[in-house]
Amino acid sequence: MTADDERLRPGVAVTPLRNGLHLRGRRGSVTLEGSTALPGLWRLLEGPLRAGEAEALLRQAEPGTPVRAALDTVFAQLRAHDLLMPAAAADAPDWLAASAADPATTAAALAAVRAEVTSGARGGALAGAVIRALARSGVTCTHAPGEDGLPDEAVLVRAWGPGREHAVAAGTTDDSGYVTAPGTPAQAQADATALTARLRTTPSPAGGVDSGVRTAGRPLRDVPASFVSLLAGAGAQRLLCAAGGMPDPAEEGDDPRLPAGVPAVLVATVRPGRAEYRAWAGGARVELRPARTLDEALRRVAVLGDERVGVLAAPEPGALRQLPVPLAACEVPGGTLLAGAPRLDLARLDAFCRAAELRLGGAGCAVGADPGHAWGRALRRAVPAPGGVPLPAAAWSGHPQARHGWTTLTERLGVTASVEVFPVGADGEVYQAVVCGARAVEATPGDAAAFALLGAIAARSAAEQGVTHRYLSTGDGSVAPLAAAGVTLAAWEDTGWTAGWLAGVARREAALHTALHRLTRLRTGPAPAPAGLAAHLTALGFTVLHTEESSK
């Protein structure tokens, strides 16, 4: 494509720099640096570029000259960052010319679109705003009778055109509003129903720790017209982008809170005025594979624990002191769940999984970020209380993490304690440690002692901070494979460092599972069809196991 075939997209803004330019548009941005002449060059180029007449300017610059080289470089960068469009698309509406990869083709597709909006009993104002927003985009929309099952304050907008049918829903509830992700009419309506129920409550902080307790929101008597227009415009934009084959607005930018494969809903509030996309796992259109890394698992924890549209309270450190052991807490039925682990990210994942288990019934249920994580948690719990004679201290005291935990508990915290490590079975493949009531089951005496000491330190630290908790959960080696996945250790990161220690635990985890399965004869039992919380967990790739012991 030559310069004569191109023009600058509408809305591209330019900021002169001392030695260059910064250009930004709807689809990309670029910074050009290296010469104080660039702002002057742009002043010559901008007018012809916006008018689609840049070819005449290029013809005045002889090939091989510095000016022609500079012009060619500018054009190449504009193309590479999608700031140019075909000149033939000049007749397309500015919003399409700024957003669509091929504005002319998208405009033709939208010209064939028919739209219809249905509203709940009190959704008339929002329906009218949607019709006006679509009309400004050149799409005619009709208003149909109310839809059975649609929330009173919601609207359902359908669009028919080349290809399949698309739909979005939008609505208001209390002091909030929402716009669903594009999907089928059934999906949009189901999301609207679930979001209306979810947004009628808001998170309520308790002390220094976000409790995640859901309390009734205060009704909004008069929804401002500007708020209705915001929801209508956002709904119309998402619908038109879907019908025209353009990326969804939620996909713009690089928001780490929106994992790939999870639809995003726009959630807006009147006071304070705010609108943002949030990952939504409440529908029935998500089916992710198990997380491959700890970071990936924690992103999914954030989705399920979202303060507005999540299904569980998110474990957070709040005001909890993070020394001598990282702590995270969340509210569960009956009180507070506290978790301690070698690192805060591990404590958050452990607290989330334990909170999910308690919500699902507790005994016989294990939740993990992947099958191995869930199975490791279940197998460790199946080991009975220890008996017999503990091993001598020399069996565990040489382990750097255990030695550090012992020093912290007895010297820094001043706790009179003893570490008892017992072999489980006769093969020397499994060990159980007990410290001040905290218990751990691992593949080596040192690992078991280190995790048990960690649990004792977490309990003591919580007591010193005056934290009242109903449940205490402490980390174990089941999470080590996730924590080690994709991590490259430095040469000096031995077992004295958390990352090096967890890498070693991860290498031993598979053999530990085999030994524990042989010793406990634990097996997975029949699981009910996923529903409610279990369905949300499995949709995000978490594993929910129901276990039972084999008859011996």
Residues 438, 456 contacting (CB under 8 angstroms): yes
Dihedral, 154, 160, 166, 169 alpha carbons, nearest 10: -10
Q: What is the pLDDT of residues 7-28, one digit of tens each?
A: 888 888 888 888 888 988 877 8
Tens-place pLDDT, residues 162-184: 777 889 999 988 788 999 999 88
Q: Residue 464 — very low, low, confident or very high, per pLDDT cuts 50/70/90?
A: confident
Is residue 507 predicted with pLDDT exceeding 90? yes
Contacts of 322 (CB under 8 A, 6+ apart): 344
Average pLDDT, the chain: 84
Alpha carbons 8 and 153: distance in angstroms, whole number: 42
Contact in structure between 135 and 98 (CB atoms under 8 Å): no
Query: Could you give all domains of the chain from N- to C-terminal order, each with its CATH number?
Result: 3-87 (3.90.930), 112-279 (no CATH)
- Tell me the Ramachandran region of residue 368: left when phi exceeds 0, alpha when psi lies from -120 to 50, beta otherwise: beta
Q: What is the mean pLDDT of residues 339-365?
A: 90
pLDDT for residue 2 is more than 90: no
DSSP 8-state symbol, 324: S
Whether the per-residue pLDDT at 206 is higher than 50: the answer is: no
Contact criterion met (CB below 8 Å) for 278 and 299: no
Confidence of residue 487 (pLDDT cuts 50, 70, 90): confident
pTM of the model: 0.80
Q: What is the pLDDT of residue 530?
A: 67
* pLDDT (0 to 100) of residue 209: 35
**430 CB-near residues (< 8 Å, 6+ apart):** 383, 423, 424, 441, 442, 443, 512, 515, 516, 519
**Which pLDDT score is estimated for 223?**
75
Q: How high is the pLDDT of residue 83?
A: 85
- For the segment 313-339, the average pLDDT, to the nearest whole number, is 89
Q: How far is it, in rounded angstroms, from Cα 364 to Cα 522? A: 10
Mean pLDDT of 240-259: 82
SS3 336: strand
Per-residue confidence band for 90, with pLDDT thresholds at 50, 70 and 90: low
pLDDT category, 212, cuts 50, 70, 90? very low
Tell me, what's the pLDDT at 205?
29
Percent composition of the chain: helix, strand, coil (DSSP 3-state, to 5): 40, 20, 40
What pLDDT is recorded for position 479? 93
